[in-house]
Amino acid sequence: MSALKLAQSLIKIKSISPNDKGCFDLIEKELAPLGFSVERVPELNSETLLAKRGNTGKVFCYLGHTDVVPSGPEEEWTSHPFEANVVDGELIGRGAADMKGSVAVFIESLKKFLITNPDPKFQIWMMLTSNEEGEPADGKINTLIESLTQQNQFIDYCLVGEASSSNTVGDVLRIGRRGSLSGNLKLIGKQGHVAYPHKVLSPILEVGPIIADLNQITWDCGNEYFDPTSFQISNIESGTGATNVVPGHLNMLFNFRFSPESTHESLKKRFIKILEKSKCEFEIEWTLNAQPYLTKKTNLLNIIQKALKTVNGQEAIVDNGGGTSDGRWISPSGSEVIELGPRNQTIHQIDEKISLSDIDLLTKIYQQILVETNNQAE
């Protein structure tokens, strides 16, 4: 099955996090004839596929996911999000760029590489999760990584197929990511009639100065590798629905994307210090989604840059922007982790797409990365 046909088949499967819904079945059928042993590891409400080929040399791992975010209103799509239609040279569908297209290209690049290199001098793994986009409570790949570490099995090079590119495929590589700290704030005031302000304490009025203070803070200045820590509010809820009632509670969801110049504990302390200025009592539920990570070793970076020079005629710029990725689970064990995938222009949007030319180009790049990895191992 070609990369396009496989990508279409995967997109047609409505694999909303944390459910794989049969994507792994298709992938296993493609990998088995290539000599891969495939293991499927359940984790709470999700599942991880781990495919391995070879038993000597360094471990090169393709890392990705088969789950997707919801499509949003299907009637707003110009082509149905789960029909995987090709329109004007673009494959349209939920997961086309994030990241079923990359998964299909993983496999196509392996097929092409193994034709001319049937006995590589390194081990090839593929690790795919059904819950990259979803909640940690449904299970993440970190449990499998911890198990592999306990068995002294480590990944040397990890290529993550997330949509890292900007204007052209391969123009940007991500060598790290900022950390992510989320919070659910509950401000507790006093409910009452709007006509008696001396008898109420409005959390809505109290949150205004809090937000103003939070918006003015420079949390840190970042460093040569990382952008500064940023703070955003994603949701605020309060009110009873009546015009004459001051609510007694307000809930606010917020998130820090933090550089190594701040710790999650220091951010918590500074946040709470601002809240203590308010007349309201408060409660906070914190969730540490990810610590920052950075790949400083250059072996994999040099391999990828050499491949890009061969295919694209130029090297990529490197950065650590964007959200979190599953690379955060791989990096702590000492792996070199780099993200290289399609253009990041439509992920999670209506009419998510990947061009057919980008599928072909990404296939050539991934195949050349495997070639360069093999050459280095000689």
Catalytic residues: 67, 132
Exposed / middle / buried, residue 183 (Cβ in 10 Å: 0-12, 13-18, 19+): middle
Segment (H or E) for 264: helix 264-275
Burial of 210 (0-12, 13-18, 19+ CB in 10 A): buried
User: What is each CA distance from 378 to 74, 113, 122, 307, in whole angstroms?
Assistant: 51, 16, 9, 17
* Residue 48 backbone phi and psi in degrees, to 5: -125, 135
Helix/strand/coil (H, E, C) string of 45-83?
A: CEEEEEEEECCCCCEEEEEEECCECCCCCHHHCCCCCCC
What span, in angstroms and rounded, lies between the C-alpha atoms of 378 and 372? 10
Q: Is 263 in a helix, a strand, or coil?
A: coil
Distance CA 133, CA 16 (A): 9
Strands 46-53 and 123-129: antiparallel
Type of residue numbered 265: E
**CB proximity list for 203: less than 8 A, separation 6 or greater:** 187, 188, 189, 238, 247, 248, 249, 250, 280
Determine contact, residues 183/287, Cβ cutoff 8 Å.
yes
From the number of C-beta atoms within 10 Å of its C-beta (0-12, 13-18, 19+), residue 296 rates as: exposed
Say which DSSP state 178 is in. Answer: -
